Amino acid sequence: MKRDLAMAFSRVTEGAALAGYKWLGRGDKNAADGAAVEAMRILLNQTEIDGQVVIGEGEIDDAPMLYIGETVGIGGEEVDIAVDPIEGTRMTAMGQSNALAVLAAGEKGSFLKAPDMYMEKLVVGPGAKGCIDLNKPLKKNLENIAKALDKTLDTLVVITLAKPRHDEVIAQMQAMGVRVFAIPDGDVAASILTCMPESEVDVMYGIGGAPEGVISAAVIRSLDGDMHGRLLPRHHVKGDSEENRIHGADELNRCKEMGVEANRVLTIEEMAKSDNVIFSATGITKGDLLDGVTCQGHIATTETLLIRGRCRTIRRIKSTHYLERKDPQVRDLVL
């Protein structure tokens, strides 16, 4: 992909972050998400790409904007787009840390097309590349990772989501002596931390959304890390109720329609077929990966992580935005 697209995509996530920030702490996660989605769509449609959304806000029947299959851009290079306009809508609504606006772009056909369902994920940085296998027990994986990193288990750091479904596995890891960082939400940011040189996180493990899993795979491949994923129907994650079984059956049917198999381990190469990826994430709230938006009057500051996978360049961009001078369509969303 053209180098110039990287800065264009950073502009897209900055706009989404600023729009989401307007709703920070107001208790309305849907309004925050809606504003970020609209800003992202406006800015993508000003970008010189022939883009198609392959990971987005849902199917066309469920999402008015940035739905799976939507075309974006004013024409140019053919790219697939994976977006999460706000990773952490609840965190934004409640003023909690680690909320991001996220976008990954790759060559056409780069990203796994999967339903919006659960995915089990195991992520490591470059030092443990090649030694993970979700077909093996988590304990064995952690032992192999520790060996690859020349660490003892009591110095290994695993990040996961603080969800009831993880209570048992968190207790298991802690019983092994592993240090566990449990965060409320945000497994894309958590996955990236495994590959950042300044981070002490070694492993990300947990069950979260499949769209976030594909986005994570794209950026982790760009950073020479490793990842396995496994699509799981709802009744395997949320409990074997009749409602969950019906929902899970629908998910399994969607998997068949999309040509992807549930309950099978997916390698990083299957989820992200190339490292020719551009990834952009802008902080909405301050977190472990990025600073959040700060605002004084109508002047806002953002921090963006911009990664070009092919040359493995990582940039952190601090930007100052005079909100009154934004494009009129975006200005209405950020002021």
Which residues sit in the known binding site for Mn(2+)? 33, 57, 84, 87, 212
Q: Which residues are annotated as a binding site for substrate?
A: 87-89, 118, 163-165, 185-187, 209
Residues 43, 151: Cα–Cα separation, whole Å: 45
Q: Which residues are annotated as a binding site?
A: 33, 57, 84, 87-89, 118, 163-165, 185-187, 209, 212
Indicate the residue type of 222. Answer: S
Contact present, 274 and 112 (Cβ < 8 Å): no
Residue ranges in the chain assigned as alpha helix (H): 4-21, 29-44, 89-94, 138-148, 167-175, 187-193, 210-222, 242-258, 268-271, 328-334
Indicate the residue type of 20. Answer: G
Non-local (6+) Cβ contacts of 308 within 8 A are: 3, 6, 222, 277, 278
Length of the chain, please? 335
Residues 39, 36: Cα–Cα separation, whole Å: 5
Contact present, 57 and 86 (Cβ < 8 Å): no
DSSP state of 177: T
Helix H or strand E encompassing 124: strand 118-124
Q: Please, what is the Cα angle at 201 between 193 and 265, to 5 degrees? A: 75
Residues 145, 133: Cα–Cα separation, whole Å: 10
Residue 68: is it exposed, middle or buried by C-beta count within 10 angstroms (0-12/13-18/19+)?
buried
Assigned token pair, 286 = 């301050």
Give the position of tokens 């979260």.
208
Assigned token pair, 116 = 């919006």
